[in-house]
Every structure is written in C-alpha cells, then in structure tokens.
Structure 1
Amino acid sequence: MRGASPRPQLQGPGVLHQRYVRRAPQHMTAQTVPGPTPASPGLLGSGHVVVAFIALLFVCQLALLVEALAPARVVFRILSFGTSLALLLLVKGPRLKHPAMPFLLASAGLTALNFFHPGTNTPLAAAAQLGIQVSVFAPLFWASRLRIDAKMFGRVVLLLFLFNVASASLGILQVVFPGRFQPALSAMVESQGEGYVRSLQFETASGARVFRPMGLTDVPGGAATGAFYSVLLGGAFLLSRQGMSRKVLGAAGIGIGLICLYLGQVRVAAVTLLVCMAAMGLVLTVSGRWVRLITLASVVGGFAVVAFGWAVAVGGDAVLSRWSTLTASDPSQVYQSNRGRFLDETFDDVLPEFPLGAGLGRYGMANAYFGDNLDRESPPLWAEIQWTAWAYDGGWLGLVCYPLALLVTLWWGFQVARRRDDAKGEFWLWGSLLFAYDLGALAQTFSYQFFMSQMGMEFWLLNAAFFSAYWNRNAAVHPHRR
C-alpha cells in the first residue's frame, strides 16, 4: 500500500511485518474494517514494467544479429544495463526487503572502494565496471517495488520460455538446413583466428560442415542457453494446473530443448541442467508431491533418450563422440580440463596477488570499450569465470558477499517450494522452479561471467518478480497483517 503507510518488510515466506496505521473499533471484525482505497500504481508502478523490460532485453539481443546495425552494437550492448539503472531511480513503490539485498549492497560497496585502487584503469572504465555490476542486480530493488500478482508472474515466465524455445528451435534448423538460418558470426569470435573458428564447427551425418547451433545469438553454441531454459521452464509448465495447453507447450519445450542441447554439444550446459532437474526433483520429494515427480522424471527421461537418438542421426559421429566424453572419464576431470583450471588460478594466483581486489576497468566489457590497455600500471586482465571477476572486484571479501546473496536467495525459494498450504495457488511450483533456476545460475558461475551479463540481470529480475508476487498474494490473503 502507498501513501502514509509505513514501508513493509518481508523477512520470510508468509510473514509480514508492519505497524498498524490505525486501530479498528472493537465492534468491527477484521473483515469489515474499511481500508484506504489503493492508489493507482501508474505506468512505472505496475507489473507491465517487467514485461516491457524483458522485451527490451530481447530486442537488444536480436539487434546484435542485424549486420546493418553493426556500427551501433555498443549502444545495444549497454542499453539494457543503462535502462536497469534508470528504473532503479524511476520506479516507485513499497520497498520490500529481499534477504539478498544487504549482501548485494556490500558487494557493490567493495567494488566502489576499488575505484580508488592504484591498479584501476581509466575513470570511465572504472565507472562502467561498477555500473555493470549494479545494473545487473538492480532489478531486485526496482522490480520488487512493482505490483505484481501470480498471473503477471506467470506471463513473465511464459515470455522467457517462448523466447528460449524460439532460440532452441532456430538452433535445430541451423543444423538441419546448413547455411539457411545462419546469423553473422560475432566479430569477437572471428578475431580469434581461423583455427579457433574451425574448432567451433562439426560435420553432420549428411557431410555438411556447420557451426554449433547459435540460435538467436551470434556465438557458436549459443543456442545451448535457450535449450537449457526451454527444458527447465518447460518442466514447470508441464507440472502446472493451468490447462492441457500449457502442459503440451511445456512438453514440447522440453523435447526441442533437449534436441538442441545435444546438437550444441555444450557439455557444461547439460551437466548444469541435470543438477537443476535433480534439485526440482528434490523439492518435489521433500514436499511429498510424488505424482508430479514421476511425471517430470518420465517426460524428461523419455525425451532425453529419443532426442539423443534423433540428434545423433542428424549430427552424426561428431555428436556421439562429443557426448561420450562425459562418461568416458570422471566428470570432475572433464571440468578440470576445461574450466577447472580457471578456478584454480583464481585461488592460487589471483587472490594472493590481489587480496583486496585488482582495481576496476581491467577486464570484460568495461575494459574492451572504455579501458586504456597501453597503461603499464594497470594492464588488462582476463576473467573467464565469475569467481575470477569477483576476486578482481573485491578480493577475498568479494568471494563472500555475492555468493552469500545467491545462497540466501536459494534458501528463500526452497522455503516457498516446500510449503503445502498453497492448495489453490501454484507458488510452490514457481518456488520449485526458482530453486532449480537459481541453483543452475550458481553452477554457471563456474563456467563464465554469469553475473556480468544480461543473463544475470534476468536472474535477479525473475527472483524479484516472484518475491513481489508472493508478498502481494500474502497481503491479499492476510489483509489484517500490516
């Protein structure tokens, strides 16, 4: 509620804390106490802001695929980040206190202190580095102020699902029809040399040489992200009570996602998806929802077998040999030979050299666009995974604050998912989805800079929208709790 009422805080699922604005007469029951008429939220106070912002994220991503817009690529890359910062100032509403907020503010504070580090690059690059980090988690602050209900949250999830299914579907077509649906290759990928570009291609069963499916990206293998979320979000729609059409749509998304994932040959995405499905299964087990657990396992397991056979028939021996490496050796060794060495370097080399951070503007997009790489006092650094980026931005403390924000977010989603007093709603289902989704995001921090990208922004946006929807539902069910 707005106006003169105090700002509400939510400390845990289903618990609302706020002082009473006025005490009702003793002869009036809680149901008959007249309350103030809620003011109209306005354009920047409704849940439609989230939908519009997600649409903007998609437009910015698609604009990178249009060659005619190549001169303005930097504009589209930073537009979503700048818009997120602007909404942090423009969106008004009750400030709900998500449990991750203090840790995110502490992380941003550490990054801001590194602005004065002697190793900091140009002031513009440093400001860009701080701006990117804040803009990524800013949706948790501005989206949680919006008036979002369960129906609006469902629309947000559906929008994300449809976009990822479209990307996965296009990825499949790029392999089945070589050259017909292929976007322009990223200039950054091309700059790595002919040998590297050729390593991103494979020979299909028909003898054609194609890139790993890009989907709606300009990076070979980029369709694997759409495939991953098609399966994960499709699982939630499969278990939903929202009619047979949603269940069929969810099942279709699972099938398309698995085929694209196999053709994309991105093994880390498959392992992460397996972890997420196990997490969702764990929540269903703990909450005693056995029928839904069996449904999820049967559909995903059945599609996994069929999709693999179809992918091998289309992709040929290259697909089969790529995926056989996961079972040919220990999974930890597979990770170690690919991304594990970057994690080792973070703890063995980066942290001993930069225990309090390395200064700002020395890696990533901020350095590429605004840095001065001729400065010998602050040469460019490389961060392949998120943990290295956290170490550069805040040293040892940087490796504590942000991961703690992720852990408390995970725990909050798990608490909602395991509740059994939501007979008429589906917040337990969305909580299960968010728990698996958040766990997958945490796993991807060991693979690339997840929380310095648009994907990290979508993470906090989805969690904020769910948090707001859950609080608003509780406020409607328990109007006497203020």
Structure 2
Amino acid sequence: MKAARPVSPGRPGLRGPGVLHQRYVRRAPEAAAGAVAASREAPTGFLGSGRVVVVFIALLFVCQLALLVEAMAPLRVVFRILAFGTSLALLVLAKGRHVKHPAKPFLLAYVGVTALNFFQPGTTSPLAAVAQVGIQASVFAPLFWASRLRIDETMFRRIVLMLFLFNMGSATLGVMQVYFPGRFQPALSSIIEGQGEGYIRSLQFETASGARVFRPMGLTDLPGGAATGAFYAVLLGGALLLSRQATWKRVLGVGGIGVGLVSLYLCQVRAAAVTLLVCMLAMGLVLMVAGRLMRLAVLGGVVGGLAVVAFGWAVAVGGDAVLARWSTLTASDPSQVYQGNRGHFLDDTFGERLPEYPLGAGLGRYGMANAYFGDNSDREHPPLWAEIQWTAWVYDGGLLAIVCYPLALLVTMVWGFRVAIRREEHAGEFWLWGSLLFAYDLGAVALTFSYPFFMSQMGMEFWLLNAAFFSAYWNRNATVHAHRR
C-alpha cells in the first residue's frame, strides 16, 4: 500500500493545522478519499448547515435581551435555561461528520471527573447536581455539534460579524446610558438590588454634568456590564479592520473599536482593559511572527490612536471619576491592582479551597444550579461561592478539573496560532481568523481570573466560535484536497 500523501497544502514536513487530515483520518489513500467524499456529501439540510450556528447565536441574543424586559421577569429562569438546553439538544440534532478537535479529549475527561462528584457527600441535591453538569456540558457542547456542520469561510465571516454587531450595540448603548442619564437604563439585576444601598451607590459615579449614573450596563442588567461588549467590539473590530472584506465592513470595524474604547473607559472595569491590552499585544505578536508587518502597523496605529482620543472623550463626559479610576493603573503596580481586587480569590483557591477539596466539593453548591435548584438545608455542606473560574473548577473536580479544562484551552490556542502563522495558497483569510482566535482565546483565559467565564453564555460563545473556525478550516482543506485529486 502506498503511503498517504498530505491532504492539505503547505510546506513539506511542516506539522500543524495544515496536516489536519493526517492526524485525524487514517493515512491510507482510500480512507483519505473517503473522508473527502464524506465532506462533500455531508447533509445539506438545515441541521447539517452553518445556518444552525447563525440561528443559535440569534437565540442567545434573544435570551439575553429578554432578561432586560421587566414584563419577562417571571420567565427569567426559562430564558436562562433555554440557551443552555438548546446547546445540549443540538448534540443530538446537529448532522454531519465527526472531526476530532484536539480539545475534545480533555473536555470529555473534565466532564467525567465532574460527574464523579455525584458521589461526593457534598452533593446534597440530585436535581442541582444534574443542573450543574448540564450547564457545564452545554457551555462546551458547541465544540462537538458545531464542528460537525458544513461551515465555510463566508459563513464564518457572517458569524464573526453577528457577534461583532451585538457587542458593538451593547457598547454603544452603554455610552448612551451615560450621555443621556436614565433614558436607556434597563432594570437593575435583582441580585444587585439585594446587596444593599451602600453597594449600589458604589456602582455609580458622577458625570462631568453633575448627574449620578450607574456604570454603563449596555445590553445587560449589571452595572459595568457594557465592558464585555466593549471588549469584544474592539477585538472583533480589529479583525474586520484587517480583512479584505467590503470597505463598509472595515469602516464599521473602526467604528466598533472607537465606541468600544469609549464604553470601556466609562465602565471603569480595569481588568477588562488590561485583558484587552494583552489580547491586542498577542494579536500583534502573531502578525509579527507571520511577517505581516504592514497589517501590524495598521492595527497598532488605528487602535493606539483611537485609544488616546477615546480616553479624552470619556473623561470629558464621565468627569473626574473616570480619570481617577484609570489613574490607579499607573499609580501602582498592575499586579498590586489585581491582588487588591481579584488576586485574593486566586490565593484562596489554591491556598484554601484546593487543599480542602482536592477531589471536588460536590455538585450544585454554587452558581445558577444552586440558586435555582439547590438544597441548602444541610449545615455540614453549606452553599459555596465562586468569584473566579478557577475556584469553580476546584469545586467541580478538584485537582483533575483544574488540569483538564485549562489543557483544553491551551491546545485550542495552539491550534489557532498554528493556523495564523501559516502561509498557504488558496487559504483565504484563515491567517487573520487564526490571529483573531488566538487573541480571543487568550482573552478568555485571562477572564477566568476575574469571574466564572466558562459557566456563562460568554463561555458558550467561546466554544461556538472556535468550533465554527475549526469546521471552516477543515472543510477548506477537504475541498482543496479534492480539487488536487
């Protein structure tokens, strides 16, 4: 039998994403040909197409917006569960061929470790335990079902544009909430209201006009919540700026960067700003390694210039409170700023929680699962609180959990980096999307030190975007190989 020839273009001997089929498909020529044929004969119906991702993203947006409508308050639980439940349902409903993403084994190991916590004494509510595992699985489920779909680069661009527009909309609304106090303000989260008047006032600031406003919420019900939309508006806007798409999309990308920076400054969420800086530096590093220096100059010039202009604009609107908040980043060491805000949670996780729960604390004792379905009557196993993702991982499975999930994130980042630095013929703009995904993924990892990112809808969007990119790249490789045959 002849040795199988590479099924994707690239330089001879180079290992990485360009030899995707060699790693995940048997190497016999007839097997490779069968894989290509299967990809060309993949289901063309709705449940086998990339349109599933588009509809699912729209559903995520609808569920998030529904939480802002006071009339929908009695149905909050339904809307929170709907997105997660749909993600799990698509594990069965989505059609297509199975392609092995390198993160899948680690995620399966993670959910297996978590499931073993059913037998922990700390699991006092079976219903809350099932809900806990369901939430975790639904967050990374898109990596399994979205990677099966027929997604091409055009569809992936559409997905990126949808995410960008929603986040830009949230950032824009956040700016308007400060410009026009009280006019675009959504109802405050009931959880925040329950913290008392003193805490609520700490989430407000006085603008240059003398009005007292909440930190911009954007399309959320949390003060400062617009920072998330602002963060992704800048990051995704940078990718649109560097793309070869229509001019209006590149201009829109510049607008997203500008409004995102203004919104981020007004939100005064320093962790998000530092994370964004790290992401942009990471994206610039990838461009430099790949030798795309002109693109690097454009990205640095536009983002750097707008960062200065946006800060002046935000201070002019937000007043001394905005200036004083951001001056703390330069007045002291950034590590000290983090230590004073979130660092002690990380210290507590590894110094106290991990030694106490080396194999996990039991299921359903924190987060949404406990809030909606938990049984907190057992005084020996009271409810727990996870302020950052690392604490949540310890509660879910102890040492094994904080190894498996981060490894899944690491291999995902490495895969995106390899795509970003490759120079292939007929590769479209996968180098750009690989650069974006590497920075996007790095940002997500950084956010695990600020809050339980992978217990939220944002975590679901993380795996959805990575799965869509993986599928688009796999399908492009299959098509190129078929043409070469």
Band of TM-score, shorter chain: over 0.9
Corresponding residue SS for 1:181: coil
| Equivalent residue, structure 2, for 1:5 | none
Q: Structure 2: which amino acid aligns with 1:178? A: P
Which residue, out of 438, 455, 465, partners 1:462? 465
Distance 1:375 1:34, change over 3 A: closer
Q: In the alignment, is residue 272 of structure 1 matched against residue 275 of structure 2?
A: yes
Distance 1:432 1:371, change over 3 A: same
Corresponding residue SS for 1:447: coil
Q: In the alignment, is residue 14 of structure 1 matched against residue 33 of structure 2?
A: no
Correspondences of 1:416-435 after superposition (within 5 Å): 416-422=419-425, 425-435=428-438
| Equivalent residue, structure 2, for 1:235 | 238
| CA distance, structure 1, for counterparts of residue 159 and residue 418 of structure 2 | 22
Q: Structure 1: which amino acid aligns with 2:349? A: T
| Equivalent residue, structure 1, for 2:381 | 378
| Equivalent residue, structure 2, for 1:316 | 319
Which residue, out of 168, 173, 177, partners 1:174? 177
* 8 A contact 1:175–1:210 mirrored in 2: yes
| Equivalent residue, structure 1, for 2:86 | 83
- Give the CA deviation at 1:378: 1.8
| Equivalent residue, structure 2, for 1:119 | 122
| Equivalent residue, structure 2, for 1:354 | 357
| CA distance, structure 2, for counterparts of residue 141 and residue 350 of structure 1 | 31
Correspondences of 1:42-53 after superposition (within 5 Å): 42-53=45-56
RMSD over aligned CA atoms reads 2.0
Correspondences of 1:361-372 after superposition (within 5 Å): 361-372=364-375
Q: In the alignment, is residue 98 of structure 1 matched against residue 113 of structure 2?
A: no
Q: In the alignment, is residue 253 of structure 1 matched against residue 256 of structure 2?
A: yes
Corresponding residue SS for 1:479: helix
Q: Deviations over 1:169-228 (max 9, x none)?
A: 000000000000000000000000010001000000000000000000000000000000
Corresponding residue SS for 2:181: coil
Which residue, out of 409, 412, 422, partners 2:415? 412
Q: Deviations over 1:364-401 (max 9, x none)?
A: 00000000112123210010000000000111111100
| CA distance, structure 1, for counterparts of residue 99 and residue 353 of structure 2 | 37
| Equivalent residue, structure 2, for 1:3 | none
Q: Deviations over 1:58-98 (max 9, x none)?
A: 00000000000000101111110000000011112111100
- Give the CA deviation at 1:246: 1.6
| CA distance, structure 1, for counterparts of residue 68 and residue 335 of structure 2 | 35
How many residue pairs end up in the alignment?
Answer: 467
Q: Output the TM-score relative to the length of structure 2.
A: 0.93
| CA distance, structure 2, for counterparts of residue 284 and residue 153 of structure 1 | 20
Distance 1:243 1:381, change over 3 A: same
* 8 A contact 1:14–1:471 mirrored in 2: no
| CA distance, structure 2, for counterparts of residue 320 and residue 457 of structure 1 | 34
Corresponding residue SS for 1:260: helix
Distance 1:34 1:156, change over 3 A: closer
* 8 A contact 2:205–2:321 mirrored in 1: yes
Q: Deviations over 1:30-77 (max 9, x none)?
A: 9xx999972542111000000000000000000000000000101111
| CA distance, structure 2, for counterparts of residue 140 and residue 348 of structure 1 | 33
| Equivalent residue, structure 1, for 2:284 | 281
* 8 A contact 1:343–1:388 mirrored in 2: yes
* 8 A contact 2:217–2:223 mirrored in 1: yes
Which residue, out of 193, 198, 202, partners 1:195? 198
Correspondences of 1:207-246 after superposition (within 5 Å): 207-246=210-249
- Give the CA deviation at 1:339: 0.3
Corresponding residue SS for 1:285: helix
Q: Structure 2: which amino acid aligns with 1:175? A: V
Corresponding residue SS for 1:14: helix
Q: Structure 2: which amino acid aligns with 1:184? A: A
Q: Deviations over 1:331-382 (max 9, x none)?
A: 0000000000000000111011111100000000000000011212321001
Corresponding residue SS for 1:478: helix
Kindly, what percent of the aligned residue pairs are identical? 77
* 8 A contact 2:122–2:361 mirrored in 1: yes
Which residue, out of 390, 394, 398, partners 2:393? 390
Q: Can you give the 5+ residue segments of structure 2 that lack an aligned partner in the other structure?
A: 1-6, 9-14
| CA distance, structure 1, for counterparts of residue 66 and residue 452 of structure 2 | 22
Distance 1:296 1:380, change over 3 A: same
| Equivalent residue, structure 1, for 2:12 | none
| CA distance, structure 2, for counterparts of residue 115 and residue 131 of structure 1 | 13
Q: In the alignment, is residue 300 of structure 1 matched against residue 314 of structure 2?
A: no
Correspondences of 1:442-461 after superposition (within 5 Å): 442-461=445-464
| Equivalent residue, structure 2, for 1:41 | 44
Correspondences of 1:152-167 after superposition (within 5 Å): 152-167=155-170
Distance 1:84 1:320, change over 3 A: same
Query: Which structure shows the bigger proportion of residues in helix conformation?
Result: 2
Corresponding residue SS for 2:482: coil
Distance 1:213 1:479, change over 3 A: same
